């Protein structure tokens, strides 16, 4: 029996975030009703169908290509790469792949492009939904780190809100620098210094570093009166990490570390206890420190886990 995989992508047009592709193999007798192009579904309906596809699919593969790679190889090639990764992640090799739009070049699996396939073919419709929901959830996670940009609403597309945020706050590391509106809004050392944004961006860079290491970012800049603010609250496995970040343009790493005084650490421990009590936290907790030194060639980030008053 011929095994057919449907392939589609989400995120070719946005100014920020990855392009995500999905490959889906469905049983011929699946009972999923309401499959259609993900863009024509409400978020609630997409989420419900996402769960049903996960339950009934024979196999699902997802491919993700980040903004850095998009800038390096261009968005078309990045889309092809994401699709190839998605096909490669299928647990069962299909005999044929049906691609939304145009055929996938240089692919060992025979494939066929179907224009408007996400409206015509069930396996492509399913792939469209998996790719869209996966990417949307990623952008909602990024919105916790970068709340000023509204990623949870526009998912990185060039809306008025997004363009205005780019003008005011400049681009982030998840923006696509090869896209024109982003290219015009790159932050500089001078801008960071003049706008007093060094610490602000440093905290975001630190959170992004942790996210890329597998941490879930729970909150940024949490105020715990009267003890002050916790820069980052993140979770890894069953441990909640409270992270204090120190950033600088010309500071040495040693100078940045000197800012973690006993007075500062005492305040942080009190803030953590306040947060634990308020949120009824039963997980293990840990106080960590990070330094971010902005320099030519990109920031230098150091992570110091489990710091103490000793």
Residue 106 confidence (pLDDT): 85
Q: What is the mean pLDDT of residues 291-309?
A: 86
Q: What is the pLDDT of residues 68-113, one digit of tens each?
A: 999 999 999 999 999 999 999 999 999 999 999 999 998 889 999 9
Q: Which long-range contacts (CB under 8 A, 24 or more apart) does 211-215 make?
A: 211/141, 211/145, 215/241
Q: What is the pLDDT of residues 21-71, one digit of tens each?
A: 999 999 999 999 999 999 999 999 999 999 999 999 999 999 999 999 999
* More confident position, 148 or 310: 148
Query: In this structure, are residues 97 and 7 in contact, taking their beta carbons and an 8 Å threshold?
Result: yes
Tokens of residue 303, six digits: 């992570």
Residue 308 confidence (pLDDT): 66
Percentages of the chain per state (helix, strand, coil), in multiples of 5:
40, 25, 35
CATH of 4-142, one of 3.30.420.10, 3.20.20.70, 2.40.420.20, 3.20.20.140: 3.30.420.10
178 pLDDT higher than 90 = yes
Residue 255 confidence (pLDDT): 78
- CATH architecture for segment(s) 198-304: 3-Layer(aba) Sandwich (3.40)
Task: For the chain, give every domain's residue range.
Answer: 4-142, 198-304
Among residues 180, 103, 132, the alpha carbon closest in space to that of 24 is found at 132
* Sheet strands side by side (includes 4-10): 59-65, 19-25, 4-10, 96-100, 111-114
309 pLDDT higher than 90 = no
Q: What is the pLDDT of residues 180-200, one digit of tens each?
A: 999 999 999 999 999 999 999
- DSSP-derived letter for residue 301 is E
Q: Model-level pTM greater than 0.85?
A: yes
Mean of per-residue pLDDT scores for the chain: 94
Same fold, 4-142 and 198-304: no
Q: What is the pLDDT of residues 222-239, one digit of tens each?
A: 999 999 999 999 999 999
Phi and psi at residue 107, to the nearest 5°: -115, 130
Q: How confident is the model at residue 132 (pLDDT cuts 50, 70, 90)?
A: very high
Residue 73 confidence (pLDDT): 98
């Amino acid at each position: 029996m011929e095994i057919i995989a449907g392939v589609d992508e989400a995120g070719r047009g946005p100014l920020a975030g990855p392009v995500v592709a999905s490959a889906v193999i469905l049983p011929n007798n699946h009972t999923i009703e309401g499959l259609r192009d993900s863009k024509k579904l409400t978020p609630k309906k997409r989420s419900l169908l996402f769960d049903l596809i996960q339950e009934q699919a024979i196999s699902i593969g997802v491919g993700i290509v980040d903004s850095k790679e998009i800038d390096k190889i261009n968005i078309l090639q990045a889309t092809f790469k994401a699709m190839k990764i998605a096909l490669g992640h299928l647990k069962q090799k299909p005999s044929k792949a049906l691609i939304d739009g145009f055929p996938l070049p240089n692919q060992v699996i025979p494939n066929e492009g179907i224009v408007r396939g996400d409206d015509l073919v069930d396996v492509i419709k399913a792939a469209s939904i998996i790719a869209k929901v996966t990417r949307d959830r990623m952008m909602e996670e990024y919105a916790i780190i970068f709340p000023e940009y509204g990623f949870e609403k526009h998912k990185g597309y060039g809306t008025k809100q997004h363009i205005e945020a780019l003008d005011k706050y400049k681009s982030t590391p998840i923006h696509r620098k090869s896209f024109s509106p982003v290219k015009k809004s790159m932050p500089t050392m001078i801008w960071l210094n003049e706008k007093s944004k060094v610490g602000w961006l440093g905290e975001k860079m630190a959170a992004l570093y942790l996210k890329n290491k597998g941490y879930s970012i729970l909150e940024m800049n949490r105020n715990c009166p009267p003890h002050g603010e916790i820069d980052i609250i993140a979770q890894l496995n069953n441990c909640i990490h409270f992270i204090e970040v120190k950033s600088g343009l010309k500071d040495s790493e040693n100078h940045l570390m000197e800012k973690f005084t006993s007075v500062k650490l005492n305040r942080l421990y009190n803030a953590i206890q306040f947060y634990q009590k308020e949120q009824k936290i039963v997980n293990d907790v840990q106080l960590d420190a990070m330094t971010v030194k902005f320099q030519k060639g990109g920031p230098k980030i150091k992570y110091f886990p489990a710091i103490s008053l000793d």
